[in-house]
Amino acid sequence: MTNKNANEVKFYLDFRSPYAYLAQTRFDDIAAATGAVFVPKPIVVIDLMNRVGNTPTSVVCPPKAKYVGQDLIRWAKAYSAPLKFNPAARQIDGPSLLRGVFAAEVHGARDAYCRAVFNAIWTQQVALTDDTSLLEVLQKAGIDAAEHIVAERDDQQASLDAVLEEAIEDGVFGAPSFVYDGALYFGNDRLQFLEADLKAAA
């Protein structure tokens, strides 16, 4: 599925992915250099992987899991991005947070919501396990519609399901993934190729 706008980049994300967090710290710089517009596309990445036959190898392979920890630190240093591993990561209600993206979009706060949630998980180590903790994060981020977003997010399951189908149609098999002009770029470490193609088309 090609993008509607020439400079639009679909950003398939799961908030529980540290690589997705790291990738989005680069968006402002890439947008400034290329005019790109990054459009968040929330997916429950394990649901996607189950649908397309992918395997979360960093979960089932202990040596790879150990390596990923080291790799994340390297990328955080390369991007000058703060990164702290969240001790409550396994308890975070990922699907509910992802549904919140659509509720935030209704209130014109989609991008601010995504930044606030990513930062809460990966820099502030917030245990986003209930409505109260999310509300506090959104209010601290200055999002005026915070109460509405928290109240309405669980009404957005149909939207989350639709984006999963869109991801499958786009050939996505993990997160973070980017789709620009019909081409797929998988992983934080492919942003350089995406940026080069955006510049070439500018």
The answer for residues whose C-beta is within 8 angstroms of residue 19's C-beta and 6 or more apart is 72, 75, 175, 176, 187, 188
Q: Please give the structure tokens belonging to residue 3.
A: 């993008």
Percent of the chain scored above 70 by pLDDT? 98
- Report the range of poorest mean pLDDT among 2-6, 67-71, 179-183: 2-6
d(CA 23, CA 36): 14
- Report the range of poorest mean pLDDT among 7-21, 51-65, 107-121: 51-65
Interval 169-199: pLDDT, tens: 999 999 999 999 999 999 999 999 999 999 9
For the chain, which domains are there?
8-201 (3.40.30.10)
The sheet with strand 177-180 has its strands ordered as: 37-42, 8-13, 177-180, 183-186
The answer for residues whose C-beta is within 8 angstroms of residue 55's C-beta and 6 or more apart is 49
Is the preceding omega at residue 18 within 30 degrees of 0, hence cis? no
Q: Is the dihedral of CA 1, 56, 53, 49 positive or negative?
A: negative
Confidence of residue 18 (pLDDT cuts 50, 70, 90): very high
Nearest C-alpha neighbor of 88 from the set 62, 53, 118, 126: 126
d(CA 117, CA 134): 8
Is a pLDDT exceeding 70 seen at residue 2?
A: no
